[in-house]
Amino acid sequence: MSEPEVILSVRDLHATVDDKPILKGLNLEVKAGEVHAIMGPNGSGKSTFSKILAGHPDYTVTSGSITFRGEDLLSLSAEERAQRGVFLAFQYPMEIPGVSNLDFLKVAYNARQRYLGHPELDALEFDDFIQEKLEIVKMSPAFLERSVNEGFSGGEKKRNEILQMAVLDPDLAILDETDSGLDIDALRIVANGVNQLRKPSNAMVLITHYQRLLDYIVPDYVHVMEAGRIVLTGDKTLAYELEERGYDWVTEGGA
Amino acid sequence: MLSRDQFFPHLLSQLPDQPRDLGALAFLDGKPLPKEAESWRFTDLSALQQPWSLATQPGPQPSPPPIQPPYHPIYVSNGFVDLSQLPPMIQVGIPSPEHPFADEFAALNILCTPQPVHLQVKQSPSAPLLIVYDTEPGLSSHPHLSLELAPHTELTLMEWFQGQGWTNSLTHIHLAPGSRFYHHRWQAQHREQGIHIGGTQVSQARDSQYQLVAVHRGSRLSRHSLGVISRGAGTVTDLKGLTWIGGEQISDTHSSLTLEQPHCTSRHLHKNIVQDQGHAIFWGRIHVQPGAQFSDASQSSRTLLLSPKARVDTQPQLEIQADDVKCSHGATVSELDPELIFYLQSRGIPRPEARRILIDSFAGEILRLVPANPFTSLLSL
């Protein structure tokens, strides 16, 4: 059996926002079929890392490299990354008044299809396509007619992120605190949706504060981030240890 | 370029007959083109200072606008009104003089209109009434229409303005008790040559409803003066406006809503989208008179500035003389939210398309109120 493909390779990444260093030598390698969890205290740079992967313009990479399936990710715009299969589920999904969820999903889907050289779907074909995706996150078709995330509850917004992920079928999904603010029922639905989207050919990076999510989406690796770097890596049992003992023992030991 | 002092005399000197309305003549006597007056101080009228020829005859029938039939059309060419396709439930009546004049341009309209038209809506027609106004280049036209709705009738009026000349229009609307008026007004005159000065004066009797969607997309220079007086209790007034300009366009909306009686509801939302070096002006006032207790009035203006040279002057205001009312007003000015653009980009949507989607959605709040909106095909930026 051949080695799984390296989906994401991050080497010695340094990044700043407003000239303030946030990432200070981050290394991470993610292979196809793997789920990585990144945990760490507030301000450790987890969310910054997720935004840099997605190509947010506010962050400046000062040194290091990010390679996505062999391609230099940093040379690509945010939309080019998404079209190639990088997906960020936002911690705080944006509301877009006046744009229907259905139109939004269709435009996004067709942009990726266009890049892949696959046929675009017209409104009727997309209607059929989206119905089965709704099942994954147990969303009512009524959400398609509403404006993107407008008036959605916290749980509905997160489910809508996973719906977008299901539609775009990314090779690398970064889930930024997708569990935060969810009650247990919503968490189950979201986690169950994410699990259905796991494939041997894709990879996921879960960014989370809480071990709770990892009961539902079981990671292959757990990383602890501190002051802009990954300071400890283990398997899923590390998450339990962090839940019990907090982060201090890691950061003191790592310092 | 004609001097401001010479502006009105130049037009009045071209009148074929002695003016009938001496009141309007006296009102205009000695007045220059307005500049410093409060209601004009943000609006640069220099594009209007041309030696216009007063239109003396109709041009060819205007081309039909991109609006889905069915409708009953009235074509107004150079201010001359063709009523040949009027449905039987609308009758031509005798216009009553309109006093006082809202401003100099209203007085000019009354003096220069070749043919004031008064229409009485006796029963609700099955299809909307569509008035297409067109003025040929170099000409100044002064269409003057008044519409009177009988009690409990209903009318949808679509007014479409096109052409490269200067249209100085005046539309009076009288709503009898319980009548409903749905008004769609599209100003789509030529963006470099067209000049548009338009007045809409509405008077509402008790329990009548007036809904307006006004879209200002065209003209080098435009001004819409909107005056609504609610004279009866329980009226509903819903005003929606969208000014969407670029290039060197100047577009001004000046609105005044007066509530005289109790239990009236009024909403006013005006949106501006300004690109390039465009300049949008919005001045709006809601006046709640002492008798208008238990009224509910709100007014807001929202502006999207899409370039560093785009400009807006916006002034929503409330004047409240009754003590038991619910009133609010506000104004926002913003650029496209970069976080929203990033959100769309992160879903693979290219940046220019992301911007277009967000601009369309801002406009859509107004445009989607119009069935079979003719502007959907003109949204490209």
Supply the pLDDT for residue A1.
Answer: 60
Tabulate helix, strand, coil % of chain B (nearest 5): 15, 40, 40
Query: How many alpha carbons lie under 13 Å from residue B265 in its C-beta half-sphere?
Result: 8
Q: How confident is the model at residue B372 (pLDDT cuts 50, 70, 90)?
A: low
Minimum-distance CB partner of B365 among A98, A107, A168: A98
Largest CA distance in chain A: 58
Pairs across A and B, CB distance < 8 A: 75
Which value, in Å, is the radius of gyration of the alpha carbons in chain B? 20
Contact (CB<8Å) B342/A107:
no
CB contact under 8 A, A88 and B338: no
For A94, the closest of B339, B364, B368 (CB atoms) is: B339
Choose among B349, B354, B362: nearest Cβ to A98: B362
3-state secondary structure of A58: coil
Structure token digits, residue B305:
């500035």
A6 touches chain B (CB under 8 A): no
Q: What percentage of chain B carries pLDDT values higher than 70?
A: 96
Residue-level pLDDT at A181: 84
Q: Provide φ and ψ at A100, rounded to 5°.
A: -70, 145
Residue of B nearest to A164 (CA): B347
pLDDT in tens, chain A (255 residues): 678 899 999 999 999 999 999 999 999 999 999 999 999 988 899 999 999 999 999 999 999 999 999 999 999 999 999 999 999 999 999 999 889 999 999 999 999 999 999 999 999 999 999 999 999 999 999 999 999 999 999 999 999 999 999 999 999 999 999 998 899 999 999 999 999 999 999 999 999 988 889 999 999 999 999 999 999 999 999 988 888 888 888 876 544
Q: Which of A105, A106, A107, A149 to mutate to test the interface with B (most CBs of B within 10 A)?
A: A107
What is the Cα–Cα distance from B173 to B83, expressed in whole angstroms?
18
Cβ B224 vs Cβ B249: under 8 Å:
no
Provide the sign of the torsion angle of the four alpha carbons A250, A21, A80, A8, taken in this order.
negative
Q: Is the distance from CB of B232 to CB of B207 less than 8 angstroms? A: yes
- The Cα–Cα gap between B238 and B258 comes to 13
Share of chain B above pLDDT 90, in %: 82
List, in order, residues 6 or more apart from A52 with CB less than 8 Å away: A13, A15, A23, A59, A61, A66
Calpha distance B255→B227 (Å, rounded): 6
Nearest-Cα distance to chain B for A70, in Å, is: 19
Q: Between chains, do B348 and A56 touch, taking CB under 8 Å as contact?
A: no
Tens digit of each residue's pLDDT (9 = 90 or more) over B249-303: 999 999 999 999 999 999 999 999 999 999 999 999 999 999 999 999 999 999 9
Residues A169 and A194 sit within 8 Å (Cβ to Cβ): no
Contact state of B347 with A54 under an 8 Å Cβ cutoff: no
The closest of A233, A231, A229, A236 to A248, measured between CA atoms, is A231
CB–CB of A78 and B360 under 8 A? no
What is the predicted pLDDT for the residue at B84? Answer: 94
**Amino acid (one-letter) located at A255:** A
Given a contact cutoff of 8 angstroms between Cβ atoms, the answer to whether A139 and A147 are in contact is no
Whether chain B has a CB inside 8 Å of the CB on A146: the answer is no
Closest residue in B to A55 (Cα–Cα): B346
Name every chain B residue with its beta carbon within 8 A of the beta carbon of A89.
none
Cβ of B348 and A96 within 8 Å? Answer: no
Among chain A residues, CA nearest to B340:
A94
Length reported for chain B: 381
B346: Cβ contacts below 8 Å, ≥ 6 apart: A54, A55, A78, A79, A81, A82, A87, A88, A90
ipTM of the complex: 0.95
Q: Which residues contact B78 (CB under 8 A, 6 or more apart)?
A: B55, B57, B58, B59, B134, B135, B136, B139, B141, B165
Is B345's CB within 8 Å of A108's CB? no
| Listed residue (B136, B117, B132, B114) closest to B59, CA to CA | B136
- Helix, strand, coil content of chain A in percent (nearest 5): 40, 30, 30
Among partner residues A79, A96, A99, which is closest to B345 by beta-carbon distance? A79
Contact B348 A98 (CB under 8 A): no
CA dist B333 and B301 (Å) reads 8
Burial of A112 (0-12, 13-18, 19+ CB in 10 A): buried
DSSP reduced 3-state for A83 = helix
Predicted local confidence at residue B375, as pLDDT: 52
Residues 6+ apart with CB under 8 A from B270: B239, B240, B241, B242, B243, B253, B255, B282, B284, B300, B301, B302, B316
Q: Does A55 touch chain B (CB under 8 A)?
A: yes
- Nearest CA of chain B to the CA of A147: how many Å? 10
Residues of B in contact with A87 (CB under 8 A): 346
Tell me the C-alpha distance between B104 and A147, whole Å: 45
Contact B50, B36 (CB under 8 A): no
Among B340, B353, B364, beta carbon nearest to A94: B340
Condensed to tens digits (0 to 9), the pLDDT of residues A78-124 reads 999 999 999 999 999 999 988 999 999 999 999 999 999 999 999 99
Q: Please tell me the distance in Å from B275's CA to the nearest CA on chain A.
A: 20
Measured between CA atoms, how close is B347 to chain A, in angstroms? 6
- B101 torsion bin: left (phi>0), alpha (psi -120 to 50), beta (else): beta
What value does the mean pLDDT of chain B take?
92
Q: Which residues of A touch B361 (CB under 8 A)?
A: 96-99, 147
Contacts B349 to A, Cβ<8 Å: 79, 82, 107-108, 111
Distance from the Cα of B183 to chain A's closest Cα (Å) equals: 22
